Structure 1
Amino acid sequence: MKLVHVYRVKTYVVPEHLDQVVKGILEVDELQVGHYKNVMWRSTDGVEQFVPSEEAVPTKGTAGERTTVTSFRLEFSIPRDESLLRKIIKEGIYPNHPWDEPVIQVSEELEARKEG
Protein backbone atom coordinates (compact mmCIF):
# COMPACT_ATOMS: atom_id res chain seq x y z
CA MET A 1 0.00 0.00 0.00
CA LYS A 2 1.15 3.53 -0.72
CA LEU A 3 -0.20 6.99 0.02
CA VAL A 4 -0.39 9.53 -2.79
CA HIS A 5 -0.90 13.29 -2.62
CA VAL A 6 -4.06 14.37 -4.45
CA TYR A 7 -6.38 17.30 -4.93
CA ARG A 8 -9.98 16.43 -4.04
CA VAL A 9 -12.32 18.54 -6.18
CA LYS A 10 -16.03 19.03 -5.40
CA THR A 11 -18.66 21.01 -7.23
CA TYR A 12 -22.45 21.18 -7.15
CA VAL A 13 -24.48 20.86 -10.35
CA VAL A 14 -28.19 20.84 -11.18
CA PRO A 15 -29.25 17.46 -12.67
CA GLU A 16 -29.92 18.74 -16.19
CA HIS A 17 -26.28 19.92 -16.53
CA LEU A 18 -24.50 17.09 -14.71
CA ASP A 19 -23.61 15.01 -17.78
CA GLN A 20 -22.30 18.10 -19.60
CA VAL A 21 -20.00 19.00 -16.67
CA VAL A 22 -18.78 15.38 -16.36
CA LYS A 23 -18.05 15.25 -20.10
CA GLY A 24 -16.12 18.53 -19.92
CA ILE A 25 -13.96 17.28 -17.04
CA LEU A 26 -13.23 13.96 -18.74
CA GLU A 27 -12.18 15.75 -21.94
CA VAL A 28 -9.38 17.35 -19.89
CA ASP A 29 -8.35 14.29 -17.82
CA GLU A 30 -9.37 10.62 -17.69
CA LEU A 31 -9.39 10.63 -13.85
CA GLN A 32 -7.39 7.42 -13.54
CA VAL A 33 -7.16 5.61 -10.21
CA GLY A 34 -5.16 2.39 -10.37
CA HIS A 35 -6.54 0.26 -13.22
CA TYR A 36 -9.75 2.34 -13.50
CA LYS A 37 -10.49 5.55 -15.38
CA ASN A 38 -13.35 8.08 -15.19
CA VAL A 39 -13.47 7.66 -11.39
CA MET A 40 -15.98 10.13 -9.90
CA TRP A 41 -18.54 10.23 -7.10
CA ARG A 42 -22.04 11.68 -7.29
CA SER A 43 -24.41 12.26 -4.42
CA THR A 44 -28.04 13.14 -5.09
CA ASP A 45 -30.93 14.97 -3.49
CA GLY A 46 -28.95 17.91 -2.22
CA VAL A 47 -30.54 21.34 -2.06
CA GLU A 48 -28.53 24.36 -3.10
CA GLN A 49 -29.66 27.84 -2.05
CA PHE A 50 -28.60 31.33 -3.05
CA VAL A 51 -29.76 34.93 -3.45
CA PRO A 52 -28.51 36.52 -6.69
CA SER A 53 -27.26 40.10 -6.38
CA GLU A 54 -28.28 42.81 -8.83
CA GLU A 55 -24.99 42.24 -10.70
CA ALA A 56 -25.52 38.47 -11.04
CA VAL A 57 -26.58 36.76 -14.24
CA PRO A 58 -28.59 33.89 -12.73
CA THR A 59 -29.53 30.86 -14.78
CA LYS A 60 -32.26 30.24 -12.21
CA GLY A 61 -33.77 32.62 -9.71
CA THR A 62 -34.27 36.37 -9.55
CA ALA A 63 -32.01 39.08 -8.15
CA GLY A 64 -32.74 39.74 -4.50
CA GLU A 65 -34.86 36.60 -4.00
CA ARG A 66 -33.79 33.38 -2.30
CA THR A 67 -33.75 30.45 -4.71
CA THR A 68 -33.43 26.74 -3.92
CA VAL A 69 -32.66 24.03 -6.47
CA THR A 70 -31.96 20.32 -6.35
CA SER A 71 -28.30 19.63 -7.11
CA PHE A 72 -25.78 16.81 -7.26
CA ARG A 73 -22.43 16.94 -5.51
CA LEU A 74 -19.80 15.84 -8.02
CA GLU A 75 -16.47 14.81 -6.53
CA PHE A 76 -13.21 13.41 -7.88
CA SER A 77 -9.49 13.37 -7.20
CA ILE A 78 -6.47 14.14 -9.35
CA PRO A 79 -2.71 14.06 -8.76
CA ARG A 80 -1.51 17.15 -6.91
CA ASP A 81 -0.57 19.07 -10.05
CA GLU A 82 -1.70 22.71 -9.93
CA SER A 83 -1.57 23.20 -13.70
CA LEU A 84 -3.85 20.18 -14.21
CA LEU A 85 -6.19 21.46 -11.50
CA ARG A 86 -6.42 24.88 -13.13
CA LYS A 87 -7.01 23.33 -16.57
CA ILE A 88 -9.83 21.11 -15.27
CA ILE A 89 -11.53 24.09 -13.62
CA LYS A 90 -11.02 26.56 -16.51
CA GLU A 91 -11.64 24.18 -19.44
CA GLY A 92 -13.70 21.35 -17.94
CA ILE A 93 -15.99 22.88 -15.32
CA TYR A 94 -16.45 26.62 -16.02
CA PRO A 95 -17.57 26.40 -19.68
CA ASN A 96 -19.95 23.50 -18.96
CA HIS A 97 -21.50 24.64 -15.67
CA PRO A 98 -24.73 26.66 -15.84
CA TRP A 99 -23.91 29.08 -12.97
CA ASP A 100 -21.94 32.25 -13.60
CA GLU A 101 -20.05 31.56 -10.32
CA PRO A 102 -20.10 27.81 -9.57
CA VAL A 103 -18.96 26.61 -6.16
CA ILE A 104 -15.78 24.57 -6.64
CA GLN A 105 -14.02 23.31 -3.53
CA VAL A 106 -10.47 21.97 -3.64
CA SER A 107 -8.64 20.30 -0.75
CA GLU A 108 -5.25 18.65 -0.48
CA GLU A 109 -5.53 15.05 0.74
CA LEU A 110 -3.80 11.71 0.83
CA GLU A 111 -5.38 8.68 -0.82
CA ALA A 112 -4.37 5.07 -0.37
CA ARG A 113 -3.40 3.09 -3.46
CA LYS A 114 -2.97 -0.66 -3.53
CA GLU A 115 0.45 -1.46 -4.99
CA GLY A 116 0.81 -4.10 -7.64
Structure 2
Amino acid sequence: MKLIPIYRINTYVVPESLDRVIEGVLSVDGLIYGNYKNVAWHSNDGIEQFVPSENSVPTEGSIGERKQVTSFKIEFSIPRDKNLLSKVIEEGIYPNHPWDEPVVQVTEEYETRKHG
Protein backbone atom coordinates (compact mmCIF):
# COMPACT_ATOMS: atom_id res chain seq x y z
CA MET A 1 0.00 0.00 0.00
CA LYS A 2 1.18 3.51 -0.87
CA LEU A 3 -0.02 6.91 0.32
CA ILE A 4 -0.15 9.48 -2.47
CA PRO A 5 -0.42 13.26 -1.78
CA ILE A 6 -3.33 14.71 -3.76
CA TYR A 7 -5.64 17.70 -4.09
CA ARG A 8 -9.31 16.80 -3.62
CA ILE A 9 -11.46 19.18 -5.67
CA ASN A 10 -15.19 19.74 -5.25
CA THR A 11 -17.45 21.94 -7.32
CA TYR A 12 -21.21 22.29 -7.73
CA VAL A 13 -22.98 22.59 -11.05
CA VAL A 14 -26.49 22.51 -12.50
CA PRO A 15 -27.37 19.12 -14.08
CA GLU A 16 -27.31 20.38 -17.67
CA SER A 17 -23.64 21.50 -17.26
CA LEU A 18 -22.38 18.37 -15.47
CA ASP A 19 -20.89 16.61 -18.51
CA ARG A 20 -19.40 19.83 -19.88
CA VAL A 21 -17.51 20.54 -16.63
CA ILE A 22 -16.28 16.94 -16.31
CA GLU A 23 -15.14 16.91 -19.95
CA GLY A 24 -13.39 20.25 -19.39
CA VAL A 25 -11.44 18.80 -16.47
CA LEU A 26 -10.62 15.66 -18.46
CA SER A 27 -9.21 17.83 -21.25
CA VAL A 28 -6.59 19.02 -18.74
CA ASP A 29 -6.00 15.86 -16.67
CA GLY A 30 -6.97 12.21 -17.16
CA LEU A 31 -8.08 11.83 -13.51
CA ILE A 32 -6.04 8.67 -13.04
CA TYR A 33 -6.46 6.57 -9.90
CA GLY A 34 -4.21 3.53 -9.91
CA ASN A 35 -5.09 1.44 -12.97
CA TYR A 36 -8.20 3.54 -13.76
CA LYS A 37 -8.71 6.79 -15.65
CA ASN A 38 -11.51 9.39 -15.78
CA VAL A 39 -12.21 8.77 -12.07
CA ALA A 40 -14.75 11.29 -10.73
CA TRP A 41 -17.82 11.21 -8.51
CA HIS A 42 -21.01 13.23 -8.64
CA SER A 43 -24.12 13.39 -6.53
CA ASN A 44 -27.69 13.82 -7.69
CA ASP A 45 -30.21 16.54 -6.95
CA GLY A 46 -28.84 18.78 -4.24
CA ILE A 47 -30.13 22.31 -3.72
CA GLU A 48 -27.81 25.28 -4.12
CA GLN A 49 -28.90 28.73 -2.99
CA PHE A 50 -27.44 32.20 -3.44
CA VAL A 51 -28.25 35.90 -3.64
CA PRO A 52 -26.54 37.72 -6.53
CA SER A 53 -24.89 41.00 -5.42
CA GLU A 54 -24.74 44.24 -7.40
CA ASN A 55 -21.33 43.26 -8.86
CA SER A 56 -22.39 39.82 -10.05
CA VAL A 57 -23.43 38.69 -13.51
CA PRO A 58 -25.95 35.98 -12.60
CA THR A 59 -26.77 33.19 -15.02
CA GLU A 60 -29.79 32.40 -12.86
CA GLY A 61 -31.76 34.64 -10.52
CA SER A 62 -31.90 38.40 -10.08
CA ILE A 63 -29.64 40.79 -8.19
CA GLY A 64 -30.68 41.03 -4.55
CA GLU A 65 -33.09 38.07 -4.65
CA ARG A 66 -32.47 34.63 -3.19
CA LYS A 67 -32.45 31.87 -5.78
CA GLN A 68 -32.47 28.11 -5.30
CA VAL A 69 -31.48 25.69 -8.07
CA THR A 70 -30.90 21.97 -8.36
CA SER A 71 -27.19 21.21 -8.50
CA PHE A 72 -24.83 18.25 -8.49
CA LYS A 73 -21.60 18.03 -6.53
CA ILE A 74 -18.60 16.90 -8.61
CA GLU A 75 -15.61 15.49 -6.74
CA PHE A 76 -12.27 14.25 -8.06
CA SER A 77 -8.59 14.18 -7.18
CA ILE A 78 -5.38 15.15 -8.94
CA PRO A 79 -1.71 14.82 -7.97
CA ARG A 80 -0.60 17.52 -5.54
CA ASP A 81 0.94 19.85 -8.12
CA LYS A 82 0.07 23.58 -7.89
CA ASN A 83 0.56 24.21 -11.61
CA LEU A 84 -1.78 21.34 -12.49
CA LEU A 85 -4.29 22.58 -9.90
CA SER A 86 -4.33 26.06 -11.45
CA LYS A 87 -4.71 24.60 -14.93
CA VAL A 88 -7.59 22.29 -13.90
CA ILE A 89 -9.47 25.19 -12.31
CA GLU A 90 -8.68 27.93 -14.84
CA GLU A 91 -8.88 25.84 -18.04
CA GLY A 92 -11.04 22.87 -17.04
CA ILE A 93 -13.69 24.20 -14.63
CA TYR A 94 -14.08 27.98 -15.10
CA PRO A 95 -14.65 28.13 -18.88
CA ASN A 96 -17.08 25.17 -18.76
CA HIS A 97 -19.09 26.22 -15.70
CA PRO A 98 -22.20 28.38 -16.18
CA TRP A 99 -21.82 30.44 -12.98
CA ASP A 100 -20.18 33.84 -12.76
CA GLU A 101 -18.33 32.66 -9.61
CA PRO A 102 -18.28 28.85 -9.36
CA VAL A 103 -17.75 27.32 -5.93
CA VAL A 104 -14.52 25.33 -6.15
CA GLN A 105 -13.17 23.77 -2.95
CA VAL A 106 -9.67 22.33 -2.71
CA THR A 107 -8.21 20.29 0.14
CA GLU A 108 -4.84 18.61 0.54
CA GLU A 109 -5.29 14.91 1.31
CA TYR A 110 -3.74 11.51 0.80
CA GLU A 111 -5.15 8.60 -1.19
CA THR A 112 -4.12 4.99 -1.01
CA ARG A 113 -2.93 2.86 -3.89
CA LYS A 114 -3.13 -0.88 -3.49
CA HIS A 115 -1.07 -1.50 -6.63
CA GLY A 116 1.99 0.35 -7.82
Q: TM exceeds 0.5?
A: yes
3-state SS of paired residue (2:45): strand
Deviation at 1:103, TM superposition (A): 0.3
Q: What 5-or-longer segments of structure 1 have no aligned partner?
A: none
Report the AA paired with residue 89 of structure 2: I
List structure 1 segments (4+ residues) > 3 angstroms apart after TM superposition: none
Deviation at 1:45, TM superposition (A): 1.4
Residues 29-48 of structure 1 mapped to structure 2, 5 A cutoff? 29-48=29-48
Q: Provide the rounded CA distance (Å) in 2 between the counterparts of 1:106 and 1:44.
A: 21
Aligned residues: 116
- Aligned-residue Cα RMSD (Å) equals 0.7
3-state SS of paired residue (1:6): strand
Q: What 5-or-longer segments of structure 2 have no aligned partner?
A: none
Query: TM-score normalized by structure 1?
Result: 0.98
Q: Deviations over 1:73-116 (max 9, x none)?
A: 00000110000000000000000000010000000001111024
Q: Provide the rounded CA distance (Å) in 2 between the counterparts of 1:23 and 1:80.
A: 20
Who is 1:69 aligned against?
A: 69
Who is 2:84 aligned against?
A: 84
Query: TM-score normalized by structure 2?
Result: 0.98
Who is 1:54 aligned against?
A: 54
